[in-house]
Amino acid sequence: MTAPLAAPAGPSRVEELQARIRGMQATRLESKAVPTHPAFEGVLPGGTLREGTVVTVEGSTTLLMALLAGPSASGRWVAVAGLPDFGVEAAARFGIALDRLVLVPDPGRQWLTVVAALADVIPVVAVRPTGRIAAAEASRLAARLRQRGTVLLVAGDWPGSDASLGIEASQWQGLERGHGHLSEREVVVSVGGRAEPGRRARSRLRLPGRSLEFAAAEPGAPRDPVRLDEYERRATG
């Protein structure tokens, strides 16, 4: 004896599922832009941060601060969790408003719970995970971020992130033959996005510039950037 086949979903059920799918797609594709510093117009996919997305930032707290500066300067609150080396003086120089900054230097093993709670009330949250996150946990948090319209900046790896930024090369200016003052740092920022996996664009930024700000590098003949550790070896050698 065989079990009867389940009846196919009726037209109303199919239309309901189609509407839910369209709604989920619209949430991702039509998410609102978040005020971002003009220097990132040629760096980020689409030229700006987007509500409800996850952006990974590899190996640079300075780059993370620069990404926080635009939303903060626009009047939004920002939060930073799991980065005990996050310097408030440097943050203020970049334009981050300290009276709208929440710091949780050591969230401990409950870091994911802390991030989820922050994302419920603060529109831009930065975190350095203290452990690996499972894909299922990342997916649940991503749904929460989309619902709240929160941007999550991650200092490290994150499964299914919408974009990733990292510094490929770095060169300081102002140090001549082992003496002088470091005045400006030019970096090559590598950027990848979910839409084009495996492909990464590159842009040059001053991070920081001579006035302790950050900006897109001035057009002109590209310099030959060197890795930061190599430059430090030359300067002290």
Tell me, yes or no, whether 119 and 212 share the same domain.
Answer: no
Q: Is residue 8 part of a domain?
A: no
Task: Identify whether residues 106 and 200 lie together within a single domain.
Answer: no
Task: For residues 68 and 96, give the distance between their C-alpha atoms in angstroms, rounded to a whole number.
Answer: 7
188 plus 84 within the same structural domain: no
The answer to whether residues 69 and 100 belong to one domain is yes
Total count of domains within the chain: 2
Let me know whether 108 and 178 are in one domain.
no
50 plus 86 within the same structural domain: yes
- The secondary structure of 101-124 as a DSSP string is EEEES--GGGHHHHHHHHHHH-SE
pLDDT at 31: 64
Answer yes or no: are the C-beta atoms of 219 and 204 closer than 8 Å: no
Q: Which pLDDT score, from 0 to 100, does residue 64 have?
A: 92
Domain final residue pick, 163, 194, 221 = 163
Domain match, 159 and 170 both: no
Separation between Cα atoms, residue 200 and residue 179, nearest integer Å: 36
- Among 140, 163, 186, the domain-final residue is 163
State residue 12's pLDDT score: 66
Q: Is residue 199 part of a domain?
A: yes
Do the Cβ atoms of 228 and 174 come closer than 8 Å?
no
**Region of residue 110 (left: phi > 0; alpha: psi -120 to 50; beta: else):** alpha
This model's pTM is above 0.75? no
Same domain (yes/no): 155, 171: no
Q: Specify whether the CB–CB gap between 55 and 163 falls below 8 A.
A: yes
User: What is the residue type of 121?
Assistant: V
Same domain (yes/no): 136, 206:
no
- Domain shared by 77 and 172, yes or no: no
Token pair, residue 2, equals 């065989």
Helix axes 111-121, 135-148, angle to 10 degrees: 20
**Of the candidates 59, 106, 115, the residue with the CA atom closest to the CA atom of residue 83:** 106
Residue that terminates a domain, selected from 132, 163, 194 = 163
Query: What is the per-residue pLDDT for 190?
Result: 75
Residue 206 belongs to what domain range? 165-236
DSSP three-state, residue 184 = strand
**Which residue, 115, 119, 67, is CA-closest to 91?**
67
Radius of gyration of the chain (CA): 21
Rounded to whole angstroms, how far apart are CA atoms 165 and 189? 7
Say which CATH number the domain at 57 has: 3.40.50.300
All residues at 6 or more sequence positions from 49 whose CB lies less than 8 Å from its CB, including other chains:
33, 34, 36, 40, 55, 67, 70, 71, 124, 151
Task: Spell out the per-residue pLDDT of the chain, length 237, in tens.
Answer: 444 444 444 556 666 665 555 444 444 445 699 988 887 887 888 889 999 999 999 878 888 998 999 999 999 999 999 999 999 998 998 889 999 999 999 999 999 999 999 999 999 999 999 888 999 999 999 999 999 999 999 999 999 899 988 877 666 665 555 544 445 667 777 787 765 555 566 677 766 544 445 555 555 434 433 333 333 333 333
